[in-house]
Amino acid sequence: MSSQPPPIFDASMVTTAFELPGYRVVRNIGVVRGIVVRSRSIFGTIGAGLQTIVGGNITLLSELCEKTRQDAFVMMMQHATERGANAILCARYDANELMQGVTEVLAYGTAVVVERI
């Protein structure tokens, strides 16, 4: 037996819609999720603070947010794959600040098995 996770399906099989054009749902598996809790480093906090002085896009925080969302998205697809799904419908993100500088990002959706129409 291998300890490696199963291969993840193509991200194009994840949608925020209630259906996937060209496919029909043959089995509803249920809710899947990917959760990441992340904090900023002291250097990131200082750098972001300096960026706020000049205004505009705070790239250090934007990059941290994008990386965190991507990690949660991949974890959601891994969860779906482990449960036997090949697609995710109604995908959503949610974020909560757990404490100062610590944020939880949750990616969730409905895992399904689809087949081409």
For the residues of 12-78, what is the DSSP string, one character each? GGB-SSSS-TTEEEEEEEEEEEEEEEEE--HHHHHHHHHHHHH-S--HHHHHHHHHHHHHHHHHHHH
Burial of 34 from C-beta contacts in 10 A (0-12 / 13-18 / 19+): buried
| In a domain? residue 60 | yes
| In a domain? residue 18 | yes
Q: What span, in angstroms and rounded, lies between the C-alpha atoms of 46 and 16?
A: 35
| In a domain? residue 29 | yes
| In a domain? residue 31 | yes
Domain count of the chain?
1
Kindly report the CATH number assigned to the domain that includes residue 39: 3.30.110.70
| In a domain? residue 112 | yes
Q: What is the pTM for the complete model shown?
A: 0.80
What are the pLDDT tens digits along the chain (117 aa)? Answer: 455 666 688 999 999 999 999 999 999 999 999 999 977 655 455 555 555 565 556 566 677 788 889 999 999 999 999 999 999 999 999 988 877 777 889 999 999 999 999
What range does the domain containing 52 cover?
11-116
